[in-house]
Amino acid sequence: MSALPGLFTTILNMSITASYVAVGIILVRLLLRKAPKIFSYALWGVVLFRLICPLSFTSAFSFLGLLNIDSQNNAGVLEYVSNDIGFMQEPTVQSGIGSIDSAVNPSLPQTTPIASVNPMQIWMDVFSLIWLAGIVVLLSYSVISYIKIKRQLLTATLVKDNIYESDLIGTAFVFGFIHPKIYVPVNVGDADLSYILEHERTHIRRRDYLIKPFAFFALILHWFNPLMWLSFALMSRDMEMSCDESVLQKISQDAKGGYSSSLLSLSVKRTGLFAANPLAFGESHVKARIKNVLNYKKPVFWVVITSVIVLIGATIVLLSNPQLRYSNLTLANVESMTLVSELDDTKSTVITDNAEWVDIIDMINTAKRSKIPEEYRPTYGELYPIYNTLTVSAKEQGAAKTYSLMIYHHKDWDVFHGEYEYKLALNCSSESNKTELWGLPYAECYQLMEWINGIRDSKQNNDISNGEASDMNLNTAGIAKLVEDNISIIMSSPKTSSNPQDYINAHQNEYENFFKYGGEDALQYMLTQFEAGNAEGLRGQIMMRLCKELLGARNNITDESLSPQEWYNALDIRQEIELPHFEYDGQDPIEKLVYATEVEKDSASNKRGGFIIVAPKVFGSCEEEDMLKVFVTTYSARYKLFGNTLSQEGGSIIPAAITYRKDNNDRYVLEKYEQARDGSEFGPSVREYCTMPVSGKEIKGLADMIFKHYTDYEDIRILLHDNLFKHLKKNGIKDATLTNSQGEVEFSMSNPNYKP
Amino acid sequence: MEKYKLFDAEYKFASIVWDNEPINSTELVRLCTDKLGWKKSTTYTVLKKLSDRGILQNKDAVVTALVKREDVQKYESNAVVEKSFEGSLPKFLTSFLGERKITEQEAEELKQIIEEAVK
């Protein structure tokens, strides 16, 4: 059952591709109108291929490249309708034609956070069942008809060789798959018979009796696509006409009249209803064939040559998939990977092992294909502070390319999504100096973070066993070069200005290099330059700006009128005041448990220092046997304190269910921590844990309560600041202020509003 | 007495019997394989059918005719399978796909076109 919608989606995607190809072939057929029909007939092979085979090769000349499709997965399969459409928050279809998409997409049912099963998923199940039912009906109809005919042909009598005659049939045809026989009606005149037999023999020689049933089988798989029915009809016509032509080529040209008379007499011989069938359309088959026969001339050389060229060209154009807008990176392309990691304010450089490359390459390819909505797409301005940069040098189509995977941290995103404090960006620069930037979904970022942590841990172990790493000096020289190179580029233009900001604006990339690659080391180097008095004029101005930005909250000078050297002389780099994590001092036993669990959870994953404050909203708790389950949404934030300046380092708002087990001493021990998952899984994951701890019975209305609160969590935002205030006060801090990125005061010890 | 009507295949089969009667049924099967291209089972099926109608008789593996050749008439060519059935395409689909029969008027027109063309 679960495989069926997937199979149906594959068929649907092939059907859409085949439709485009069929339209293309119908157009090319117009070009080939005067050409031998064998070329038109051969072209339909491309549609057949597209109907059966989901993959194809790529070429720059693909017809599908004209459409705006960016939906090819790694294996060369075109996807207009994603296999995951049933699980998407906002299902979308890409047909490559804007007006169709905009008409179809609003009609697709969206997930509401309340619904537990995505309605699109149900629809896909229903559609795939209808599809299957259609196949079963058509296949059994075909098989039954086949058997009926076969039984009627049993009594056909031998004429000679493989030719049989019967008075039960109205026309001549080939029947059978392994040993095909020709069946003709009785009482066909000798003159007609010779033409008819030649026609049927030609069918057998060309294996048409196998091709047509095979094509019909493909048609059955795609029965829902009217364009394929049309294609099948046109293919059949092209097949007959090219067969006629090949007969005429064999017998003499003068036989045209006789041959077409035979066609006519055979078709008149058919009895039954003579009234025009209301379902039939277009010129009747026989009429078109007779006209084609009468107009047939032995093709001249240049017509054949032109047709061959058109056929080959059209086949390549229609058979191939468009090239990816971004080619995929492969293991063979990669030359080296270097990781520069700066977590915990220590910088380390690691040359990575080949064995790790495959995952990273996958990650880069995912990023290149990813469609990050505009508002999430990072810009260079947001790319700092950067904690880790993985640089991948590669050669693509002969050109050197450098990819940088950067884990960065963006203030505005911290709490806004209630999710994550890191984002991942991919930057690509090539020799031609073109740079491109992509964003990556959280899952990849998390994967990369884990990976980096693994490398860092193993490296630390190595450092301990090998003693101090020997490349430290090299590193210092490298930093000096980095700083000096980039500063001199920034200072190079635009000579005419006296405003240092103009120089920085003109060289954003170089400016950002300090944050991407320099970090804490660059800061230390520049401070020694101030110390040495080597910070005059424009150089000093630019270095002061860089240092201020790198120092962030540690900078104690707010006076903007000072000259660089004056600023440095007055600078007293604030040291971080280290504080413990928050501790609950209330009486509520459940809250006490929750606070302890939440702080413990966050501090366990905290590798960047600072102290943690949590503010849980408890929706309720239930006890069953020896289990206690508490449902919460927790606002959790991490802060650092420099002097009287607070800096928020990250935060999250995540609903969760915490299960405790009562041990022998009547103490509650943490049993399980279930947390809401990201994106489209958010709703289902919350519903999943809104159950009784032991029996697993659903708790009605609870999930909806959590969803409602999640849209407006002002209460826990206030609680967070209250707790922050209490915590600072308890630790003897009398003055502390938190400003957001717009410079507005978010929290201040001196603000009476925050006195709980 | 009304004449017996036989299909083409039945008539050919009965003719073999008339020409060779009385004939051993094994011999008849061999003859039918040679002359009509029939399988053994087909021969016996048709034999049974004509025996049931009282036209032939199969007694102790010897086949004889009960009806004279003059009393039997062939059906006028009568296509029971109305349509071409190339491959396995069901009938209703062929008609949907435009392989419709032509009317007498169309046939006449076509005849003229052919005559014009080969003149």
Q: Is B2 on the interface with A (CB under 8 A)?
A: no
Q: Which chain A residues are within 8 Å of B75, Cβ to Cβ?
A: 167
| The predicted structure's pLDDT at residue A303 | 86
pLDDT in tens, A84-105: 555 454 555 555 555 555 556 5
Query: Could A281 and B106 be called an inter-chain contact, meaning their C-beta atoms sit closer than 8 Å?
Result: no
Query: Could A294 and B84 be called an inter-chain contact, meaning their C-beta atoms sit closer than 8 Å?
Result: no
Average pLDDT, chain A: 75
CA end-to-end span of chain A: 57
**Would you list the DSSP string of A94-158?**
--S-HHHHHHHGGGSPPPPTT-SS-HHHHHHHHHHHHHHHHHHHHHHHHHHHHHHHHHHHTT-EE
pLDDT surpassing 60 at residue A372? no
Reported confidence tier of residue A411, pLDDT bands at 50, 70, 90: very low
Q: How far is A285 from chain B (nearest CA, A)?
A: 5
| Residue of B35, B46, B74, B88 to mutate, interface with A, max A Cβ within 10 Å | B88
| The predicted structure's pLDDT at residue A632 | 92
Contacts of A612 (CB under 8 A, 6+ apart): A581, A582, A599, A602, A603, A606, A636, A637, A638, A639
Q: Which chain A residues are within 8 Å of B80, Cβ to Cβ?
A: 152, 168-169
Q: Which chain B residues are within 8 Å of A137, Cβ to Cβ?
A: none
Query: Could B117 and A257 be called an inter-chain contact, meaning their C-beta atoms sit closer than 8 Å?
Result: yes
Reported confidence tier of residue A447, pLDDT bands at 50, 70, 90: low
Residue A93: strand, helix, or coil? strand
Q: Which of A212, A229, A284 sits opposite B100 (nearest CB)?
A: A284
| The predicted structure's pLDDT at residue A465 | 44
Q: Which chain A residues are within 8 Å of B12, Cβ to Cβ?
A: 157
Which range is least confidently modeled, A138-142, A305-309, B85-89? Answer: B85-89
Q: How far is A204 from chain B (nearest CA, A)?
A: 11
- Mean pLDDT, range A677-694, rounded to an integer: 82
| The predicted structure's pLDDT at residue A133 | 95
Q: Which chain A residues are within 8 Å of B103, Cβ to Cβ?
A: 274-276
Query: Could B84 and A173 be called an inter-chain contact, meaning their C-beta atoms sit closer than 8 Å?
Result: yes
Reported confidence tier of residue B95, pLDDT bands at 50, 70, 90: very low
Q: Which of A168, A261, A280 sits opposite B95 (nearest CB)?
A: A280
pLDDT surpassing 60 at residue A413? no
| The predicted structure's pLDDT at residue A626 | 86
Greatest alpha-carbon pair distance for chain A in Å reads: 117
Would residue B35 count as lying in a domain? yes
Q: Which chain A residues are within 8 Å of B89, Cβ to Cβ?
A: 142, 212, 216
Who wins on pLDDT, A37 or A82? Answer: A37
CA A184, CA A339: separation in Å to the nearest integer?
A: 78
CA neighbor of A247 nearest in space, from A291, A286, A201? A201
| The predicted structure's pLDDT at residue A446 | 64
- Mean pLDDT, range A71-85, rounded to an integer: 57
Scan for tokens 């001092």, then name that residue. A585
Query: Could B78 and A260 be called an inter-chain contact, meaning their C-beta atoms sit closer than 8 Å?
Result: no
Query: How many independent structural domains does chain B possess?
Result: 1
CA angle A402, A403, A404 (to 5 degrees): 120
Q: Which chain A residues are within 8 Å of B102, Cβ to Cβ?
A: 267-268, 284, 286-287
| The predicted structure's pLDDT at residue A468 | 39
β partners of residue A659: A629, A672
Reported confidence tier of residue A68, pLDDT bands at 50, 70, 90: low
CA A139, CA A144: separation in Å to the nearest integer?
A: 9
Would residue B30 count as lying in a domain? yes
Query: Could B37 and A209 be called an inter-chain contact, meaning their C-beta atoms sit closer than 8 Å?
Result: no
Reported confidence tier of residue A425, pLDDT bands at 50, 70, 90: low
Q: Which of A145, A268, A284 sits opposite B91 (nearest CB)?
A: A145
Who wins on pLDDT, A727 or A476? Answer: A727
Q: Which chain A residues are within 8 Å of B118, Cβ to Cβ?
A: 256-257
pLDDT in tens, A197-210: 888 888 888 888 88
Q: How far is B6 from chain A (nearest CA, A)?
A: 11
CA A193, CA A534: separation in Å to the nearest integer?
A: 106
Who wins on pLDDT, B21 or A85? Answer: B21
Share of chain A above pLDDT 90, in %: 7
CA A370, CA A209: separation in Å to the nearest integer?
A: 47
Would residue B43 count as lying in a domain? yes
> What kind and span of H or E run contains A337?
strand A334-341
Q: Which chain A residues are within 8 Å of B43, Cβ to Cβ?
A: none
Would residue B61 count as lying in a domain? yes
| The predicted structure's pLDDT at residue B20 | 86
Query: Could B77 and A187 be called an inter-chain contact, meaning their C-beta atoms sit closer than 8 Å?
Result: yes
- Residue A265, amino acid: S
Is the ipTM higher than 0.90? The answer is no
Query: Could B110 and A287 be called an inter-chain contact, meaning their C-beta atoms sit closer than 8 Å?
Result: yes
pLDDT in tens, A304-362: 898 899 999 988 888 887 765 556 677 777 777 777 765 555 556 666 666 667 777 77
| Residue of A222, A244, A269, A274 to mutate, interface with B, max B Cβ within 10 Å | A274
Q: Which chain A residues are within 8 Å of B15, Cβ to Cβ?
A: none
Are A330 and A425 in contact, with CB atoms under 8 Å apart?
no
Neighbours of A542 (CB within 10 A): 24
| Residue of B75, B110, B115, B119 to mutate, interface with A, max A Cβ within 10 Å | B110
Mode of pairing for the β-strands spanning B4-6 and B23-24 = unpaired
Would residue B21 count as lying in a domain? yes
Q: How far is A393 from chain B (nearest CA, A)?
A: 58
Q: Which chain B residues are within 8 Å of A173, Cβ to Cβ?
A: 84-86
| The predicted structure's pLDDT at residue A638 | 85
Query: Could A175 and B85 be called an inter-chain contact, meaning their C-beta atoms sit closer than 8 Å?
Result: yes
CA neighbor of A406 nearest in space, from A375, A374, A367, A460? A367
Q: Which of A146, A237, A267 sits opposite B101 (nearest CB)?
A: A267
Burial category of A18 from C-beta neighbours within 10 Å (exposed 0-12, middle 13-18, buried 19 and up): buried
Would residue B49 count as lying in a domain? yes
Reported confidence tier of residue B90, pLDDT bands at 50, 70, 90: very low
| Residue of A160, A202, A248, A268 to mutate, interface with B, max B Cβ within 10 Å | A268
Are A684 and A116 in contact, with CB atoms under 8 Å apart?
yes
Q: Which chain B residues are within 8 Å of A233, Cβ to Cβ?
A: 97-98
Q: What is the domain extent for residue B54? A: 4-70
Q: Which chain B residues are within 8 Å of A206, Cβ to Cβ?
A: none
Residue A372: strand, helix, or coil? coil
Q: Which of B80, B82, B102 sits opposite A286 (nearest CB)?
A: B102
| The predicted structure's pLDDT at residue B74 | 67
Q: Which long-range contacts (CB under 8 A, 24 or more apart) does A565-574 make?
A: A565/A530, A565/A533, A565/A535, A565/A540, A568/A527, A568/A530, A568/A531, A568/A535, A568/A544, A574/A642, A574/A643, A574/A645
| The predicted structure's pLDDT at residue A421 | 44
Query: Could A280 and B79 be called an inter-chain contact, meaning their C-beta atoms sit closer than 8 Å?
Result: no
Mode of pairing for the β-strands spanning A321-322 and A58-59 = parallel
| The predicted structure's pLDDT at residue A42 | 92
Q: Is B42 on the interface with A (CB under 8 A)?
A: yes
**Would you state the torsion angle of the CA atoms of residues A14, A15, A17, A18, taken in this order, to the nearest 10 degrees?**
110
pLDDT surpassing 90 at residue A568? no
Reported confidence tier of residue B66, pLDDT bands at 50, 70, 90: confident
pLDDT in tens, A253-274: 677 778 888 777 766 654 333 3
Share of chain A above pLDDT 70, in %: 70
pLDDT in tens, A607-616: 567 889 999 9
pLDDT surpassing 50 at residue A508? yes
Who wins on pLDDT, A113 or A357? Answer: A357
pLDDT in tens, A7-26: 888 888 888 888 988 999 99
Q: Is B79 on the interface with A (CB under 8 A)?
A: yes
Q: Which of A173, A232, A274 sits opposite B86 (nearest CB)?
A: A173
Neighbours of A379 (CB within 10 A): 8
Q: What is the CATH number of the domain that holds B16?
A: 1.10.10.10
Enumerate residues 58 to 77 of chain B having a beta carbon within 8 A of any beta carbon in chain A. Answer: 74-75, 77
Query: Could B113 and A175 be called an inter-chain contact, meaning their C-beta atoms sit closer than 8 Å?
Result: no
Would residue B9 count as lying in a domain? yes
| Residue of A143, A144, A155 to mutate, interface with B, max B Cβ within 10 Å | A155
pLDDT surpassing 70 at residue A123? yes
Reported confidence tier of residue B1, pLDDT bands at 50, 70, 90: very low
Who wins on pLDDT, A495 or A240? Answer: A240
Would residue B80 count as lying in a domain? no
CA A29, CA A491: separation in Å to the nearest integer?
A: 64
| The predicted structure's pLDDT at residue A113 | 43
pLDDT in tens, A147-203: 888 888 888 888 888 888 887 776 778 888 888 888 888 877 777 788 888 888 888
For chains A and B, what is the number of CB pairs under 8 angstroms?
A: 170
Query: Could B79 and A271 be called an inter-chain contact, meaning their C-beta atoms sit closer than 8 Å?
Result: yes
CA A551, CA A620: separation in Å to the nearest integer?
A: 44
Query: Could A157 and B46 be called an inter-chain contact, meaning their C-beta atoms sit closer than 8 Å?
Result: no
CA A257, CA A246: separation in Å to the nearest integer?
A: 15
CA neighbor of A618 nearest in space, from A716, A727, A684? A716
| The predicted structure's pLDDT at residue A173 | 80
CA end-to-end span of chain B: 52
Query: Could A216 and B89 be called an inter-chain contact, meaning their C-beta atoms sit closer than 8 Å?
Result: yes
